[in-house]
Amino acid sequence: MKILLFGRLGETIGREIDFALPEGGCTVAALRAALARDHQGLAADKVRACIDHEIAPETALVLPGQEVAFLPPLSGG
């Protein structure tokens, strides 16, 4: 599964990172913890997870086929 990154995260880590999602999915918290091992910037509280264009809580389940992104704080328009 590709995880999308934007803003400062996209610039420092890359626009996309690959993640081997377990067959039954995993929580946002587990996904974040796994990715943060290599990319510490994703561990910050102010970096929000997003599933299919909706901000998702840490308890939300990430399932195969969904679009998942991590968003740094918005700058606004």
Partner 1 sequence: MVRLEPGELRPAEELERFIAGLAGDGAVVSFVGLARGADAAGEKVTGLFLDSYPGMTEKSLEAIAAAARERFAISAVQIVHRSGAVAPGAPIVFAAAAARHRRAAFEAADYLMDRLKTDAVFWKREQRLDGSAWIEPSEADRADRARWSD
Q: Are 3 and 70 in contact, with CB atoms under 8 Å apart?
A: yes
Among 26, 33, 61, 71, binds partner 1 (CB under 8 A): 71
**Taking CB under 8 A as the rule, does residue 24 contact partner 1?**
no
Least Å distance between CB 77 and partner 1? 4
Our CB check for partner 1 shows the closer of 5 and 23 to be 5
Q: Are 2 and 66 in contact, with CB atoms under 8 Å apart?
A: no
The one-character DSSP state at 60 is P
61 backbone dihedrals φ, ψ, rounded to 5°: -95, 130
Residues at the site binding partner 1, with contacts judged by CB under 8 A: 4, 6-8, 10-11, 50, 53, 69, 71-77
